[in-house]
């Protein structure tokens, strides 16, 4: 059987909220249509961009189900199942599989900073609870935990369903990981601005945040990188860079939420401590989008 392959380009979707703080299910349906119209092949559901840790476990399960019902079967869905408690991550993985998702993305517990054996036990528990392919997600800036390469290699050798890692920490060990685990083991980035450079370090793709607002542009850049046309991809990324930097300074989640609400895709509610864009920020976003 061929090894599962994550799409080299996917978009990390936000979670839309109604004005009363509940999940905006109608907005999810319109968001999925927006992604389809812009030929986005795969979505990360309930990742960092989806504010996963502000959602209850039941809300995340609701999100898995609603997005899967809205999306056609050919659209790949990768469920973010990171949780502080291992038993919650286990439950989320099982529910993602039950909802019909294509694979999962397993980040590490934020704030508590497990050691390497504790983190490995967390991964083993989740892998033992689902048959879905697993992308590990190493994001030390947000979690305070860094997955060591030897721990990754040991886990991937023990659980063949671990076919990928989303590495947003140091890119410098990627070549070694691929030497140990083989060229088919995928390494993905979650950082739009550096993706051209990261491809030269052995990366295979991008889970894009910017793809929410620039879906066609980011897909084209990743496609060029995948076909070896690095110079052309780098030029396109540099042309987009001022917009990425400006929107990043506003906050990507808030900017995406505002832009989608302006287009009538979502209702525009938000979950504190996030706040709406100020009038000055709205003007800056409008200028960037033009």
Do 188 and 204 form a contact (C-beta atoms < 8 A)? Answer: yes
Give the pLDDT band (50/70/90) at residue 276: very high
Do 3 and 182 form a contact (C-beta atoms < 8 A)? Answer: no
Q: What is the pLDDT of residue 201?
A: 94
Tens of pLDDT, residues 199-239? 999 999 999 999 999 999 999 999 999 999 999 999 999 99
**pTM given for the model:** 0.96
Give the pLDDT band (50/70/90) at residue 2: low
Mean pLDDT of the chain: 96
Tens of pLDDT, residues 45-68? 999 999 999 999 999 999 999 999
Give the pLDDT band (50/70/90) at residue 174: very high
Of 102-106, 107-111, 173-177, where does mean pLDDT reach its minimum?
Answer: 173-177
Topology of domain 9-289, per CATH?
TIM Barrel (3.20.20)
Q: What is the pLDDT of residue 3?
A: 80
- Report the length, in residues, of the chain: 290
Q: What is the pLDDT of residue 173?
A: 87
Instruction: Provide mean pLDDT across the span 127-143.
Output: 97
Give the pLDDT band (50/70/90) at residue 1: very low
- C-alpha 25/C-alpha 237 separation (Å) is 33
Instruction: Provide mean pLDDT across the span 1-30.
Output: 93
- C-alpha 174/C-alpha 290 separation (Å) is 37
Q: What is the pLDDT of residue 227?
A: 97
Q: Which residues, in sequence order, are bridge partners of residue 129?
A: none
């Amino acid at each position: 059987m061929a090894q599962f392959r994550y799409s080299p380009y996917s978009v990390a979707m936000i979670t839309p909220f109604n004005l009363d703080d509940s999940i905006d299910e109608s907005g999810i349906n319109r968001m999925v249509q927006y992604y389809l119209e812009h030929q986005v092949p795969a979505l990360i559901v309930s990742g960092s961009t989806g504010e996963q840790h502000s959602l209850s476990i039941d809300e995340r399960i609701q999100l898995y189900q609603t997005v899967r019902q809205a999306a056609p079967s050919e659209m790949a869905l990768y469920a973010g199942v990171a949780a502080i408690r291992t038993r919650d991550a286990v439950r989320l993985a099982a529910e993602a599989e039950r909802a019909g998702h294509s694979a999962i993305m397993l980040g590490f517990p934020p704030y508590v900073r497990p050691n390497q054996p504790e983190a490995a036990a967390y991964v083993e528990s989740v892998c033992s609870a689902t048959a879905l392919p697993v992308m590990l997600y190493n994001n030390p800036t947000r979690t305070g935990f860094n997955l060591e390469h030897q721990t990754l290699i040991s886990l991937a050798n023990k659980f063949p369903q671990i076919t990928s890692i989303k590495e947003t920490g140091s890119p410098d060990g990627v070549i070694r990981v691929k030497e140990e685990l083989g060229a088919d083991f995928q390494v993905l980035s979650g950082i739009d601005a550096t993706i051209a450079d990261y491809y030269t370090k052995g990366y295979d793709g991008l889970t894009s945040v910017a793809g929410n607002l620039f879906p066609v542009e980011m897909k084209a850049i990743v496609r060029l990188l995948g076909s070896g046309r690095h110079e052309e991809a780098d030029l396109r990324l540099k042309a987009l860079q001022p917009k990425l930097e400006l929107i990043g300074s506003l906050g990507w989640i808030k900017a995406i939420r505002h832009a989608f609400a302006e287009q009538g895709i979502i209702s525009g509610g938000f979950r504190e401590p996030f706040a709406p864009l100020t009038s000055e920020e709205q003007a800056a976003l409008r200028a960037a989008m033009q």
